[in-house]
Every structure is written in C-alpha cells, then in structure tokens.
C-alpha cells in the first residue's frame, strides 16, 4: 500500500515551501521532494533599469539581508565601470558589511541556533526554545542581543541612510565619507559586539561542548553529507566576507579549484526541475548528476560551515582561536556535519565583530576620498560577496548608457539548494519506517533546515519572502492521520515550534501546549506574551481565540518585573 | 478599557516591513496597548479562525506587501470584512512597490529569463517549472506563476495608508497610538505628514527659491556634495513630489530621494507628479530643447514609477500588438 506524506502549508498553499514525501510499498521513503512554489522575477524586471539603481532595487529581494544584495550589486557596479573604490570607500563598505554580518549572525545564535545548541539537542524538547536559552545563559542575554543589534543597525542607518534597504553603494565607492564621530560610534559598536560574541562563544562552550552527547549527535549520519564546499578566501586562504577569491574543496578536503568571481560562469551552473521554482546550483567542473553527495556529484554547499571548510583559518585572533577549537573537536576538515553550521556561525560572529573593530581603528577610514569616479563605458559587471547564508553572485549586462540589458542573480540559499534537498530526503528516510512518520520527524527535518538558515525568499526571489511548513500524513484514502505545523518566515521565526509547553513558552496553546503563536516583535516582546488562548486543534469545532480570562503566567510576570 | 484587537498580515513582501515592526524597540510601550489577535506566522492560524470573528471585530488590520496570488486576495477580502480599519502598510501594499515593476513584463518572459536565458542555467530541453509535473514516484503540483502585481486598494477598500519602504518607525508608533486613543483621522488618510519631503530635508535651506537645472546627471557622474540640495546639484531627487515622514533618510545617506513614501494628498499618479516636479526645474527653452533634456533622463519608468507602477493610471505595460497577434496565431 503506497502513501504520500505532504509537508505542506495546507491553508496557505501559495507562497510557501512544501515537502512532498512518497512512501514505497514497504512503508519506507522512496523520495522526498522540497518544493518552492513562488517566483518574483527580478532578473527580468531589472532589465531597462539604470545600473546604478541595482544596489537599491535588488536589496528588495530580501528585507532580511538587504545589505548583502546591496553590496554584491555595488561590487558588480565597480566591475561594470572598471573602477576600484579608494581605500576609505572600500573600508567603509567592509565596516558596514561586517556590522551587518555580526547583527545577522547574532540574531541566529540567540533565536535559532541557540535553542538547539545552547540548551542542547538532547535536552527535553519543551526546553529547546528561547526561554530555554535564557534559562541556560541568563536573562541579560535577551536584553543584550537586542541592544547589540540595535547599536549595529543604528550605525548602518547613520552611514548608509537606512538599515533596511541602504542607499550608500555606488560604482567606485560609497556616497558619503565617515566622520570621526561615526568612526567612534563604529568602534563602540564593534567593542560591544566583540564582547557579545565572546559571551556567545563562552555560553556555547559551557553548555554544548560540556555535554558529552552533543558531538555524537552533531556527527550522526542523518545530518552528514559529503559534498563539495565553496566560499571566499583572502590571499592567505583565510575567511573573508566582503572580497576575495572563491575556493572550492572536495569531500576529501583537497582543493578542487580557485577562481575569481568574474569567472563564475566557468564553474557554477544551475539545474532546472519542473516541480519547483528553485534552481539547483552545481559545479560545472563535475556536472549535474542528480541529487547525490560524494565526489562524483557536482552538488556543493555554502554558508558558515562551508566557509570554514574552504579556508585555512581566520585573520583575527579570537576567531582563529575559536576556529582551532572547532577543527580540533570536529575535524579533520572538511567537517561534513550540517549541524556544525551553528558553531561555525558563532565563530564567524566573532570574526565579523573583530573585523569591524580593526576597520574602525584604521585612521584611513575617515579619509574624505571615498569614491573613484568612473569613466569607462559600461558593458558587463559581476560582483560576489559572502552573504550570511553563503556566496552571492550578481551579474549585470548593460548598454553603453548603463541601462541593464541582462541580469543573473545566484543567491546564497540557491547554492545550497541541492544539499538542502538531500538533507530533507535523508531526514525523511531516516525517520519514516513502516509507513509511520515518527513524531520527531518535523523537528528533525527542521533542524537540518535551520542549520542552513535558509532563506527561500531570497533563493527564488519568491513571494512572499517567508516559508511555512506543515507536515501532513495521509493514509492511502487521503484521510489526514497526523499533522504538525511549522511556519518559518525566513529567520524571523521562533525556533520553538511544535515543541512548546505553557510552562516554558507562555504563548503556547493553553490546552495542547504545542501550538504556538508568533507575532511581529515576538523576539523583543517575549517578556510580555499574549494572554492564554487555545488552538482550534485542541477544541474541534471551535476557533482559536484569545481568551481574556487568564492573566500572564508566573514566569512571565517575573520576567516583566 | 479593553485593548483594541489588531491583525497583521503580509502579502507579497520582502520581509523588511515585518523586520521594521520587529525592530521598533521604541514601539514596545505603544504596542503593549493593543491585543495582537492574528498574525500569519501563527502556528495554528487558520482562515477559519478569522472567519469566526464578528464582522468588524478587529479594530485594525495592518497589511503589508502587494497582492499577487489568489490566496492573498482572499485573505485581504476576509480581513476587510472583519476589520473596522484596514491599513495598507508600506510601499508595496500602498503603491505596488519595487516588485510591482514586474508589471512591465509578461509572465512567460520572466520564466524564460530565469529558467532559460540566465547564463548559468544548463537547461538544454528548456524545462520550466510547471503547474503539474510527473516524477518517478508520482505527481507533483505547483501554483501558477503570476506576474500581475496589484496594490491592496485595487483588491479591497483601504482605510489608511502607512507609506515607506519600510515605513519609518516613528510613523508606525503614531499610527498605533492614534488607533488606541481612537484618534484616527478620517478615512482615506495617509498616516504621515502631508507635506513634501523637502520640508524636513536638512538640505532644504540650500534649495534655491527659483531652482533651475541645466542638465540632469546620474550619481556616478560626479561627486555629491553632502550639504547642498541634491536637485540643485542636478541629481534627480524626488523630494519635491514625495511625502515627508522619513526624516529624509536617503538624502541623509547622501543619495537622492527615490520616492518610496509616495505622493502627498490629491495626487492621482505619483510618477506623473514626480516627472512634472522634475521637469518644472529644467532650465530649457522650446520644445526641442526640453525634449532633448528629458531624453537625457535614463529609464523614466524605473525612476519615477519605481514604487508605484501598479498604482499608476497605466498599472502595467500594455501588451505589444505584435505579441498579441502572434499569440492568436499560435493558439
């Protein structure tokens, strides 16, 4: 008897991700398909626009990582007009880029990576959430993460016009110079970010590395894929975010190739499947051989773990120290454990903060000369950066007036798409036997997702930039036998889905204790969650409504005071 | 006093609007005064839950993003019915936003560009994502791709507008305060100052009384003075046609205003207004000279209608006749 399992946002089909799992006659998984059901088409509608508007237009691909698109586009404009920014212009760009990376990684540490790894993967599920993190590392961290992010964002807004959708990137540099006041502001933000990153690392060490079950869990086969890795490195093969050479290492850790962003078309290609709007990147040198890992498959991976795998170390002292500890613990490199991305992300947070401090301390950064005016006739430009979620390529062709005639955008999660599809398939295979979906299925599938910190809004330039998942298990007659839901609006989500109790998560359903509600600003308002309510599942025929009869739970009242 | 219930919903958006709400630390005190009844990322959120509300039970629904799919349209209609006030939140909901530029192209052109023409694509048999596809294990389906982007107002009746890409936190705070205190202005109001951006631009003092521009230049064609009026420097700054409320954030970053806050009141077509504002400062005589100067402005659609194409009188590119004939022949 064959069955299908559909992980699907049942009520909100369009604009969401969907996982469709086909079961074989023996009840095992034949194949799991990850489908991305939307597309926006930036590549087409930027045609006809002015090249210099690309940094601002393409940042609207994603309101979560606007700076990554802004910067990749600005670098593509440098190439288009064949201009190099003067030293101060380049340094201001990298300063703000580092601030953005630190801010993005800090968020992930606290709200996504944190629950799995600070509380611990083998901690009771109901503890594996934001409040669990707070229990483990203290209430102050909640305030600190908000404070650090705000300070970093304020700096970006002060220099780049706006933190969400910045405006400062131009061919040959940036639109404004850095005053000494802003430089001091940057130095202060960097110092605080370093302190925070050290705190994060310390908390990680104490609570995770001190847990003997942790390494075993991270290194388990269900979360392991032996693929190629790609990332930017500097001349000494150290991790870099803003600029460098692309390096690819194989599953055996040996360097396969290095290339500059300008040659990306010689090495990176995309595969199209009819069942998803997502395109799947692969290494042209190896070729597309289907969804498979190993040296014979062109599937590769990007993002924090990939960056540490392709690099020989970090340029800053604290990050290098953390990197060495990482390699000693999980090595030898390359580390193939998908879940190690969380640790790698904290190491990168350390690096981003330290790099900010270096740049803010550089007296040259306040030089008023921040732009090189272009004189070349524009034709074609390519820009590459390491976005928080991996390598990001922007490629524009223009006419002689600098109006875009063609655009190609390969975004971070797209590079990872094939490996993410593999992870989903593998998790499903590992967990579903005899036609039964283990209750932990969704959690484990989602853990493999979360490690990549995927942004499907970016990767298909899809609408909306959010992804929701609902697992539905149906029997052969199509009757729903099990349902677990998960909404994942980019990284904006609580990680506590489907694992909540009222005890640890006051905003969970007061009856089933599992369903949770998130709302804008939940991360900052968690100290003051809504009043008790119950979900519709726990009361068939009734509706989920807020109840005004209950006061806030004791834990919340304590937190408020 | 019972707290007013509000709902948040996003349609087609980048996530930036959600982010800005999220980051509005200063808003915490204000938003403590309302009861957030629904939000689409709610785990157990069902359309039925909203449907079960009394009509008009929600004090306000904040909806961001443009409308592109049938599901978004249905949710917008539902929220309209259940809400006393619907607020179009952000440029996309209000004007169509940058993704609204997709209205310049047909769906199939977009699919072709992404899946066939992109230089990195290896797709010899021209595969496109399909609504139905057959794989070895069974059948898979996808929603159809739609390239028609509509503003919220083109789908439902909208009471208020919060402009910006994303809306400035100060304006969000004022809007929520007004809601709580029952001091919302009359229907149709834009919840932002009804004056041009120039009024709050720190460069305003340097704007000449009689502004005349010999020729417009693009940002990469020269250095930009950080203190002088950008329009006076010959840059296409849309401040004179654009609503204030953002504290002139982009001129603060030493770049021209691109018009995300939309028009001041009584303007039907923002792009036309912006074009007219810019044209009025051109120092040119005679039709030929004026035409020549205007032709120097590259990409007028992307410049003047960057955030507002779906809201414009034209709404989208009118299909070329040749293409239309070809389609009739082939079908």
Measured between beta carbons, which residues in chain B are less than 8 angstroms from residue A64?
Answer: 14-16, 19
Kindly state the percentage of chain B with pLDDT values over 90: 51
Q: Are A55 and A73 in contact (CB under 8 A)?
A: yes
List, in order, residues 6 or more apart from A518 with CB less than 8 Å away.
A487, A493, A494, A507, B39, B41, B42, B43
| Residue A255 confidence (pLDDT) | 96
Q: What does the DSSP assignment read for B53-79?
A: SPTT-EEEEEEESBB-SHHHHHHHHHH
Name the pTM for this structure. 0.86
Rounded to an integer, what distance in angstroms lies between the CA atom of residue B44 and that of residue A487?
A: 9
Number of domains into which chain B is organized: 3
Query: Per the structure block, which two tokens stand in for B110?
Result: 């977009």
Average pLDDT of the residues in B108-120 = 92
Rounded to an integer, what distance in angstroms lies between the CA atom of residue A301 and that of residue A413?
A: 9
Average pLDDT of the residues in B16-41 = 61
Q: Which residue has the tokens 């290194």?
A: A219
Measured between beta carbons, which residues in chain A are less than 8 angstroms from residue B24?
Answer: 521
Which of these ranges, A176-180, A256-260, A420-424, A516-520, has the smallest mean pLDDT? A516-520
| Residue A506 confidence (pLDDT) | 45
Length of chain A: 561
Rounded to an integer, what distance in angstroms lies between the CA atom of residue B101 and that of residue A407?
A: 15
Same domain for B153 and B137: no
Tell me whether residues B14 and A465 touch, CB distance under 8 A.
yes
Tell me whether residues B119 and A395 touch, CB distance under 8 A.
yes
The span from the first CA to the last CA of chain A, in angstroms, equals: 57
Tell me whether residues B18 and A172 touch, CB distance under 8 A.
no
Residues 270-309 of B with CB under 8 A from A: 298-299, 301-303, 306
Residue B330 lies in a domain: no
The pLDDT of residue A278 is above 50 = yes
Q: Are A500 and A508 in contact (CB under 8 A)?
A: yes
Measured between beta carbons, which residues in chain A are less than 8 angstroms from residue B99?
Answer: 40, 45, 60, 463
Measured between beta carbons, which residues in chain A are less than 8 angstroms from residue B218?
Answer: 50, 52, 402
Nearest to B98 among A57, A81, A149 (CB): A57
Average pLDDT of the residues in A374-400 = 96
pLDDT in tens, B155-172: 999 999 999 999 998 898
Nearest residue in A to B3, CA atom:
A548
Rounded to an integer, what distance in angstroms lies between the CA atom of residue A449 and that of residue A554?
A: 33
Q: Which of A44, A370, A560 is the best residue to mutate to test the B interface, defined by the most B CB atoms within 10 Å of its own CB?
A: A44
Rounded to an integer, what distance in angstroms lies between the CA atom of residue B96 and that of residue B315?
A: 9
> Minimal CA–CA distance to A13: which of B36, B213, B74?
B74
Which of these ranges, A89-98, A157-166, A526-535, B284-293, has the smallest mean pLDDT? A526-535
Neighbouring CB atoms inside 10 A of A368's CB total 12
| Residue B200 confidence (pLDDT) | 95
> Minimal CA–CA distance to B173: which of B6, B19, B26?
B26
Residues 160-179 of A with CB under 8 A from B: 160-168, 170-172, 175-177
Residue B258 lies in a domain: yes
Per-chain mean pLDDT for chain A: 78
Tell me whether residues B15 and A490 touch, CB distance under 8 A.
yes
Nearest to B218 among A52, A288, A486 (CB): A52
Per-chain mean pLDDT for chain B: 85
E strands, A198-341, are 228-233, 245-249, 255-259, 268-272, 279-283, 300-301
Residue B166 lies in a domain: yes
Residue A523 pLDDT class (50, 70, 90 cuts):
very low
> Minimal CA–CA distance to A6: which of A24, A16, A19?
A19
Same domain for B135 and B47: no
* Residue bearing the bigger pLDDT, A141 or A491: A141
Nearest residue in B to A149, CA atom:
B23
CA distance A445 to chain B (A): 17
Rounded to an integer, what distance in angstroms lies between the CA atom of residue A330 and that of residue A42?
A: 40
Residues 9-38 of B with CB under 8 A from A: 10-25, 27-28, 31-32, 35-37
Length of chain B: 331
| A206: DSSP letter | I
Q: Which residue has the tokens 């996808």?
A: B142
Residue B244 lies in a domain: yes
3 state SS of A106: helix
Q: Which of A520, A530, A532, A551 is the best residue to mutate to test the B interface, defined by the most B CB atoms within 10 Å of its own CB?
A: A520
Residue A456 pLDDT class (50, 70, 90 cuts):
low
Residue A84 pLDDT class (50, 70, 90 cuts):
very high
* Residue bearing the bigger pLDDT, A207 or B66: B66
Task: Flag whether residue B74 sits within 8 Å of chain A, measured between CB atoms.
Answer: no
Q: Which of B147, B218, B220, B259 is the best residue to mutate to test the A interface, defined by the most A CB atoms within 10 Å of its own CB?
A: B220
Rounded to an integer, what distance in angstroms lies between the CA atom of residue A6 and that of residue A478?
A: 11
Nearest residue in A to B109, CA atom:
A44
Tell me whether residues B142 and A37 touch, CB distance under 8 A.
yes
Same domain for B132 and B14: no
Same domain for B131 and B10: no
Q: Is the peptide bond before A334 cis (omega within 30 degrees of 0)?
A: yes
Residue B306 lies in a domain: no
The pLDDT of residue B107 is above 90 = no
Q: What does the DSSP assignment read for A10-72?
A: TT--TTS-EEEEEE-TTSSEEEEEEE------HHHHTTTSBGGGHHHHHGGG-SSSHHHHHHH
| Residue A560 confidence (pLDDT) | 46
Return the domain boundaries, chain A.
1-35+422-499, 84-224+338-369, 500-561
Rounded to an integer, what distance in angstroms lies between the CA atom of residue B121 and that of residue A126?
A: 44
At A265, give phi and psi (nearest 5°).
-70, -20
Tell me whether residues A48 and B301 touch, CB distance under 8 A.
yes
Average pLDDT of the residues in A294-317 = 96
* Residue bearing the bigger pLDDT, B178 or A132: B178
| A224: DSSP letter | B
β-sheet bridge partners, residue A393: A384, A410
Task: Flag whether residue A45 sits within 8 Å of chain B, measured between CB atoms.
Answer: yes
Rounded to an integer, what distance in angstroms lies between the CA atom of residue B275 and that of residue A286?
A: 52
Q: Are B253 and B175 in contact (CB under 8 A)?
A: no
Kindly state the percentage of chain A with pLDDT values over 90: 50
Strands A173-174 and A169-170: antiparallel
Same domain for B172 and B38: yes
Task: Flag whether residue A550 sits within 8 Å of chain B, measured between CB atoms.
Answer: no
Residue A11 pLDDT class (50, 70, 90 cuts):
very low
Nearest to A489 among B41, B69, B137 (CB): B41
Tell me whether residues B44 and A544 touch, CB distance under 8 A.
yes
Q: Is the peptide bond before A258 cis (omega within 30 degrees of 0)?
A: no
| Residue A130 confidence (pLDDT) | 54
Task: Flag whether residue A28 sits within 8 Å of chain B, measured between CB atoms.
Answer: no
pLDDT in tens, A106-162: 877 776 666 666 666 555 555 555 556 666 766 677 677 778 888 999 999 999 999
Task: Flag whether residue B202 sits within 8 Å of chain A, measured between CB atoms.
Answer: no
The pLDDT of residue A463 is above 50 = no
Q: Which of A162, A414, A545 is the best residue to mutate to test the B interface, defined by the most B CB atoms within 10 Å of its own CB?
A: A162
Q: Which residue has the tokens 């967990």?
A: A431
Same domain for B77 and B166: yes
The pLDDT of residue B301 is above 70 = yes
Rounded to an integer, what distance in angstroms lies between the CA atom of residue B329 and that of residue B5?
A: 54
Same domain for B118 and B51: no
* Residue bearing the bigger pLDDT, A450 or A272: A272
Neighbouring CB atoms inside 10 A of B73's CB total 17
Q: Are A34 and A456 in contact (CB under 8 A)?
A: no
Residue B69 lies in a domain: yes
Neighbouring CB atoms inside 10 A of A481's CB total 13
Tell me whether residues B22 and A523 touch, CB distance under 8 A.
yes
Task: Flag whether residue B142 sits within 8 Å of chain A, measured between CB atoms.
Answer: yes
pLDDT in tens, A366-376: 999 999 999 99
Strands A268-272 and B121-122: parallel
Q: Are B248 and B200 in contact (CB under 8 A)?
A: yes
Nearest to A274 among B114, B127, B165 (CB): B127
Inter-chain CB pairs, A–B, below 8 Å: 334
> Minimal CA–CA distance to B15: which of A45, A17, A392, A461?
A461
Same domain for B115 and B55: no
List, in order, residues 6 or more apart from A554 with CB less than 8 Å away.
none
CATH fold, domain A84-224+338-369, is: Cytochrome-c3 Hydrogenase; chain B (1.10.645)
Here the CATH number for the domain that contains residue B159 is 3.40.50.700
The pLDDT of residue A545 is above 60 = no
Tell me whether residues B101 and A466 touch, CB distance under 8 A.
no
Residue A520 pLDDT class (50, 70, 90 cuts):
very low
Neighbouring CB atoms inside 10 A of B274's CB total 27
pLDDT in tens, A502-515: 344 444 444 444 44
Measured between beta carbons, which residues in chain B are less than 8 angstroms from residue A52?
Answer: 218-220
Nearest residue in A to B246, CA atom:
A162
Tell me whether residues B145 and A39 touch, CB distance under 8 A.
yes
Average pLDDT of the residues in A468-480 = 48
Residue B277 lies in a domain: yes
Measured between beta carbons, which residues in chain B are less than 8 angstroms from residue A171?
Answer: 220
Same domain for B65 and B36: yes
Average pLDDT of the residues in A87-115 = 87
pLDDT in tens, A19-73: 777 777 776 777 878 777 677 789 999 999 999 999 999 999 888 889 999 999 9
| Residue B21 confidence (pLDDT) | 59
Residue B32 pLDDT class (50, 70, 90 cuts):
low
Nearest to A497 among B43, B110, B219 (CB): B43
Measured between beta carbons, which residues in chain A are less than 8 angstroms from residue B302?
Answer: 48-50, 53, 57
| Residue A475 confidence (pLDDT) | 46
Rounded to an integer, what distance in angstroms lies between the CA atom of residue B261 and that of residue A216?
A: 53
3 state SS of A394: strand
Buried/exposed B187-210: b ≥16 CB within 10 Å, e otherwise: eeebbbeeebbbebbebeeebeee
> Minimal CA–CA distance to B256: which of B223, B229, B286?
B229
Nearest residue in A to B126, CA atom:
A272
Q: Are A284 and A269 in contact (CB under 8 A)?
A: yes
Query: Per the structure block, which two tokens stand in for A288?
Result: 């597309």
Backbone Cα Rg of chain A: 23
* Residue bearing the bigger pLDDT, A215 or B239: B239
Rounded to an integer, what distance in angstroms lies between the CA atom of residue A47 and that of residue A475?
A: 48
Tell me whether residues B133 and A401 touch, CB distance under 8 A.
no
Rounded to an integer, what distance in angstroms lies between the CA atom of residue A305 and that of residue A334?
A: 9
Which helix (H) or strand (E) segment holds residue A387: the answer is: strand A380-387
Rounded to an integer, what distance in angstroms lies between the CA atom of residue A378 and that of residue A406?
A: 13
Give the C-alpha distances (Å, rounded to integers) separating A521 from A145, A516, B156. Answer: 14, 15, 27
Measured between beta carbons, which residues in chain A are less than 8 angstroms from residue B5?
Answer: 546
The pLDDT of residue B78 is above 80 = yes
Indicate if the alpha-carbon torsion angle A422, A428, A431, A435 is positive or negative: negative
What torsion do the CA atoms of A325, A141, B38, A544 make, to the nearest 10 degrees? Answer: 80
Nearest to B31 among A37, A408, A521 (CB): A521
State which residues form the domain around B133: 107-141
Nearest to B105 among A44, A66, A371 (CB): A44
Query: Per the structure block, which two tokens stand in for A78?
Result: 């440098």
Q: Is the peptide bond before A332 cis (omega within 30 degrees of 0)?
A: yes
| Residue B9 confidence (pLDDT) | 81
CA distance A251 to chain B (A): 23
């Amino acid at each position: 008897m064959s069955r299908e399992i559909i992980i699907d946002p049942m009520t909100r089909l369009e604009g969401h991700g969907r996982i469709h799992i086909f079961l074989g006659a023996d009840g095992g998984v034949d194949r799991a398909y990850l489908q991305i059901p939307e597309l926006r088409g930036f590549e087409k509608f930027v045609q006809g626009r002015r090249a210099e508007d690309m940094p601002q237009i393409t940042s609207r691909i994603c309101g979560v990582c606007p700076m990554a698109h802004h910067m990749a586009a600005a670098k593509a404009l440098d190439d288009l007009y064949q201009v190099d920014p003067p030293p101060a212009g380049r340094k201001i760009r990298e300063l703000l880029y580092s601030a953005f990376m630190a801010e993005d990684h800090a968020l992930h540490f606290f709200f996504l990576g944190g629950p799995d790894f600070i509380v611990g993967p083998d901690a009771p599920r109901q503890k594996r959430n934001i409040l669990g993190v707070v229990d483990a590392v203290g209430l102050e961290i909640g305030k600190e993460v908000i404070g650090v992010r705000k300070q970093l964002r304020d700096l970006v807004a002060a220099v780049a016009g706006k933190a969400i959708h910045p405006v400062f990137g131009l061919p040959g540099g940036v639109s404004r110079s850095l005053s000494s006041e802003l430089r001091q502001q940057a130095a202060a933000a960097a110092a605080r970010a370093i302190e925070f990153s050290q705190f994060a690392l310390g908390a990680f060490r104490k609570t995770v590395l001190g847990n003997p079950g942790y390494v075993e869990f991270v290194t388990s086969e269900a979360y392991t894929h032996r693929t190629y890795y790609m990332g930017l490195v500097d001349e000494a093969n150290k991790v870099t975010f803003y600029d460098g050479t692309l390096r690819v290492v194989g599953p055996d850790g040996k360097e396969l190739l290095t290339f500059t962003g300008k040659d990306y078309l010689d090495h990176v290609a995309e595969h199209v499947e009819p069942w998803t709007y997502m395109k799947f990147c692969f290494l042209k040198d190896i070729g597309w051989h289907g969804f498979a890992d190993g040296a014979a498959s062109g599937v590769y991976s990007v993002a924090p773990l990939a960056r540490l795998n392709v690099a020989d170390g970090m340029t800053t002292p604290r990050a290098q120290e953390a990197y060495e500890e990482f390699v000693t613990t999980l090595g030898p490199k390359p580390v193939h454990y998908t879940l190690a991305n969380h640790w790698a992300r904290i190491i990168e947070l350390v690096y981003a903060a330290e790099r900010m401090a270096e740049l803010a301390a550089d007296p040259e950064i306040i030089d008023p000369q921040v732009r090189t005016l272009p004189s070349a006739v524009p034709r074609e430009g390519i820009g590459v950066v390491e976005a928080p979620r991996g390598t990001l390529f922007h490629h524009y062709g223009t006419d002689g007036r600098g109006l875009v005639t063609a655009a190609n955008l390969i975004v971070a999660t797209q590079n990872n798409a094939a490996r993410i599809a593999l992870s989903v398939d593998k998790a499903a295979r590992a967990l579903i036997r005899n036609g039964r979906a283990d209750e932990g299925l969704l959690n484990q599938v989602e853990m493999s997702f979360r490690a990549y910190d995927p942004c499907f809004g970016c990767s298909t330039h899809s609408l909306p930039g959010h992804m929701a998942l609902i697992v539905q298990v149906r029997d052969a007659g199509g009757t729903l036998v099990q349902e677990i839901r998960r909404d994942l609006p980019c990284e904006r989500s609580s990680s506590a889905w489907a694992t909540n109790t009222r005890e640890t998560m006051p905003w969970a359903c007061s009856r089933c204790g599992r369903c949770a509600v998130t709302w804008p600003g939940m991360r900052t308002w968690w100290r003051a969650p809504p009043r008790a309510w119950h979900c519709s599942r726990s009361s068939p025929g009734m509706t989920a409504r807020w109840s005004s009869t209950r006061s806030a739970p004791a834990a919340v009242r304590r937190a408020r005071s | 006093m019972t707290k007013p219930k509000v709902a948040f919903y996003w349609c087609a958006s980048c996530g930036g609007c959600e982010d800005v709400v999220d980051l509005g630390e200063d808003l915490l005190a204000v938003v403590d005064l309302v009861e957030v009844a629904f939000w689409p990322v709610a785990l157990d959120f069902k359309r039925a839950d909203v449907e079960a509300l009394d009509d008009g039970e929600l004090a306000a629904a904040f909806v961001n993003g443009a409308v592109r799919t049938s599901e978004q349209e249905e949710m917008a209609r539902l929220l309209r019915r259940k809400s006393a006030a619907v607020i179009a939140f952000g440029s996309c909901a209000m004007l169509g936003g940058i993704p609204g530029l997709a209205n310049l192209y047909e769906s199939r052109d977009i699919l072709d560009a992404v899946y066939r023409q992109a230089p990195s694509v290896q797709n010899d048999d021209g595969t496109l994502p399909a609504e139905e596809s057959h794989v070895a294990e069974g059948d898979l389906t996808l929603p159809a791709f739609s390239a028609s982007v509509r503003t919220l107002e083109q789908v439902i009746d909208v009471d208020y507008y919060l402009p910006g890409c994303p809306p400035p936190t100060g304006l969000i705070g004022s809007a929520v305060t007004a809601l709580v205190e029952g001091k919302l202005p009359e229907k149709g109001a834009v919840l932002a100052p009804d004056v041009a951006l120039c009024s709050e631009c720190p460069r305003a003092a340097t704007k000449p009384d009689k502004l005349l521009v010999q020729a417009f230049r693009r940002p990469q064609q020269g250095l930009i003075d950080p203190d002088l009026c950008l329009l006076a420097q010959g840059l296409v700054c849309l401040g004179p046609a654009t609503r204030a409320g953002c504290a002139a954030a982009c001129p603060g970053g030493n770049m021209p205003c691109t018009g995300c806050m939309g028009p001041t009141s009584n303007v039907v077509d923002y792009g036309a207004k912006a074009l007219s504002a810019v044209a009025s400062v051109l120092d040119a005589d005679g039709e030929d000279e004026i035409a020549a100067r205007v032709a120097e402005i590259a990409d007028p659609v992307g410049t003047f209608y960057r955030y507002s194409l779906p809201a414009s009188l034209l709404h989208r590119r009118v299909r070329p006749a040749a293409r239309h004939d070809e389609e009739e022949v082939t079908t």
